[in-house]
Structure 1
């Protein structure tokens, strides 16, 4: 099935919805805190309560979705995503708003991995990298536009952002989707985990030591270059923008040279980028390095997804969901791992993850 098929529009647009819904609160945290009478730190927990169930449930959502029917599960998950967005819109108490955000994350756990599995099922092997690259581009677009749209909505009234999310999710629930692939043999947990071990470890490292460092880049933009929140946010968006613009090229690279080469290039390039971020004494150099980080992050993403899909066979759905869970676990662990290092020595907080990215490459080569 071609990437321009109407039945794939729902797949690609669904890839945008999850990252957008997760990050839409970032720019409206002061307004959330004021609305509910909580602290900024309390408002920031609305991002954590989305990501934790999202990552945890993805460990099993792919396998469960395959047993329940992929299309049926996706439509139910979209409807649940819309319902939880509406609950967040009208929630009169902060605890109920946080509950709605947690349920949103749980619903998205059944969207992202199953969309990837659907895309893999209908895409010819020689074009799989390009298709996954386009999906990654839509995810990058969701990451990039979420703070902007959330900030604009907060200028008027922040609940409007959740109204838009609910309408989009309902439209996707009714959109055409590729039919479920032919039923195959039921897979056990070991057949799900086995092909996802190496890709999962590498994507955990890649996302934790590269994409998860946005908070450190924000610290550096403030501490070294004294940027206020507006310019800081603009500088941070170059990561997602560069990833969006180059994701299909990353997919073509994976198709031409193989997923192992794409993943290795991303890890080594990521090590170089993170080192430059820690040592840069010029604002243009730092911003350019962060943009380059968005490019190599797509190589890691596309290479990992292609590798696990081609290795997993009948266990594809479950293996994808495990790898995606580890990806977001890496992002969640990054602040815990590197904040203390930053306060001890800002350069060390970047050089350590840079070294980890480079050291991970031999694991990939050996596993090959």
Structure 2
């Protein structure tokens, strides 16, 4: 039988929970820029940015984004590379692309005004139940739950809900519980109070129960079972993928960049040329071409080496790799080994460009590429004859 302990709360208890919780929030809430407005556009942008990203990181991005794209019309007409550039470093770039698509929907279907019903908001590209609930409650005062990981953790402890929060089917249970306790007078404030509580006090481990405004209502606290909730199955380990990256410099001191395909992971972004290799090949290169004092600056011709050949033109490689970087996506873990070479390549493919280091800020680099550039710069600085 499903646990529905929230239905055991009397109207008086619900009213007391709401009043005490909102009083705490009004006293303790964080001063964040998007909380100083009821503009649904600003709230929407902030909520999308906050997905999978720390609040402290988002603040700067939020200000820059709103300065460049102050209205829905501006976002709908945005150049994609400019949009991705201002998003650079936040990751999960499909969020930015979906923002533009949704803005175009709003311009085409709602005359540039954010729709005001939960059903219409849910139809917008990239907006799921949580974001729709946040916009509806904060911007329009609708009593709609905004259920994310923080909220599920709080509510699971509050009512000892033992359903697996990693399963989509469990969301219905949390939705029912939230609709029982959410304030109809201040739904947006109530949702934000739960977000703050989950991020600051009701944390995944070692929750600060002594500081919690919901302590008197929390069943897990009463039973000493805080650490038992939420119930969550472990994520699958990301798949390991191995690449060789090449920092190829021409006679002008420019480096070859290559744009990724228009769809798929890191779509339309720029990186050093990458070549996927087997784990065995990667480990061989990592071991055999590591830095050695007596030959660290030696150069040799590519076709005489055992390195993969990337181009028909002659490439002179430094006889060592410049180190490796790793980057974890939600489902993949990239291992990338960086090599430096000099090239005489003149002809470029449509998706290739030569650019100086000073011009890199004109290109949209994903996080792995940013790490590779830092690795390149580190080697330039450490080897004065590089």
Give the TM-score of the pair, scaled to structure 1: 0.28
Structure with greater strand percent: 2
Structure with greater helix percent: 1
Relative contact order (C-alpha < 8 Å, sep 6+): which is higher? 1
Give the TM-score of the pair, scaled to structure 2: 0.27
